[in-house]
Amino acid sequence: MPWYSGDRGPMQLARAFGDVINDVQRVRRGWRWDTPRPRTWPEQGAVVPAPASDLGWARQEPVRTIRWLIQHGLLLPFTEAMAHPKVEGREWVTELERPVIFAANHSSHADTSLVLHALSDRARDRTVVAAAADYWYKRPLLGNLVGLFLNTFPFSRTGGAKEQLHSASRLLKAGWNLVFFAEGSRSPDGRIQEFKPGLGFLSNETGTPVVPLHIRGAHRIMPKGQKLPLPGPVRVRIGKPMTAQPKEGSREFTARVEQAVRALAEEPRQPELQGTWIERWRALKPREPEYLD
């Protein structure tokens, strides 16, 4: 007899609800969702291989619509309230005609939301974020949540170069923009660390331009080790898209992008990186209206 048959009334309903809670608690304690892995458990492999699914569901409808609602109702207003980001060079990411890699410095968990905040709605909707598989995807619930909120996909930091980059290059070829923190992990002191050559490799392999970004102030909002963000001003400076020169290797190109990000950090505007006014003016040219027959 089902619990809702009315045979035993509200007591039965309360019991059924209690059973569900017990089950959840039991599982939660059994696998310790929110505490480190117990020492008594056998050693885990150093590498967490990317799951077979690279969170493809997060890039499908209706998840995209749900994400749009979450971002516009929660994430972007929160970012705006906490950081009042001042964005320079938005013209380079307003009307993207082809996928690009956003290469930014990384000093805080707030960086991803700040980059997404700086993009136009159109560009943001077509942007995925490479998230460290060994950090974010250790706990499936957390991994799925960031996938839902930020459109991340697991990116292994420790595997072989080609395997690591395969999923990312597939996404680029499928028309997605990619947010890529080439330093590999958050800077402990806010200073820019050396960029890993995977960035240049990805760009060369897929022929995708790289848009250098510099985020100033995110380290003060949420430095490494801090659990909750604190409000503070942020400036996001976006440079014009860069492509590898003919015969330029991945390492050289990565070094050039790193140099560009470092230069963007400097105070006065950088016309060679941010573009002359004529280049920016042309980049902002409104899209010609498209009429359907």
Determine if 276 is a binding residue for other proteins (CB under 8 A): yes
Told to check if 139 binds other proteins by CB under 8 A, we report no
Q: Which stretch binds other proteins (CB under 8 A): 34-42, 70-78, 244-252, 281-289?
A: 281-289
217: left (phi over 0), alpha (psi -120 to 50) or beta: left
Burial, 262: exposed, middle or buried (Cβ in 10 Å; 0-12, 13-18, 19+)? middle
Q: At its nearest, how many Å lie between other proteins and the CB of residue 119?
A: 14
Is the separation of the CB atoms in 101 and 204 below 8 Å? no
Is cis: bond before 62, omega within 30 of 0?
Answer: yes
Site string for other proteins, 85-124 (x = CB under 8 A): -----xx---------------------------------
State the minimum distance, in angstroms, from the CB of residue 91 to other proteins. 5
Phi then psi dihedrals of residue 259, to 5 deg = -60, -40
Instruction: Output the smallest distance, CB 284 to other proteins, in A.
Output: 5
Q: Show the 3-state SS of 220-266.
A: HHCCCCCCCCCCCCCEEEECCCECCCCCCCHHHHHHHHHHHHHHHCC
Task: For residue 110, give Cα distances in angstroms to 1, 219, 222.
Answer: 51, 8, 7
3-class DSSP assignment, residue 214: strand
Query: Residue with structure tokens 């971002």?
Result: 71
Q: Does 277 bind other proteins (CB under 8 A)?
A: yes
Whichever of 86 and 173 has its CB closer to other proteins, that residue is 86
CB atoms within 10 A of CB 57: 11
Q: Which is nearer to other proteins, 90 or 139 (CB)?
A: 90
Q: Is 8 in the site for other proteins (CB under 8 A)?
A: no
Of residues 89 and 143, the one with the C-beta less far from other proteins: 89
Q: Taking contact as CB under 8 A, which single stretch among the options 16-24, 164-172, 244-252, 275-283 is the one that binds other proteins?
A: 275-283
Q: Is residue 284 involved in binding other proteins (CB under 8 A)?
A: yes
**Contact predicate 200/250, CB 8 Å:** yes
Count residues contacting other proteins (CB under 8 A)?
12
- Contact mark string toward other proteins, 42..81, x via CB under 8 A: ----------------------------------------
| Contacts to other proteins by CB under 8 A | 90-91, 269, 276-278, 280-282, 284-286
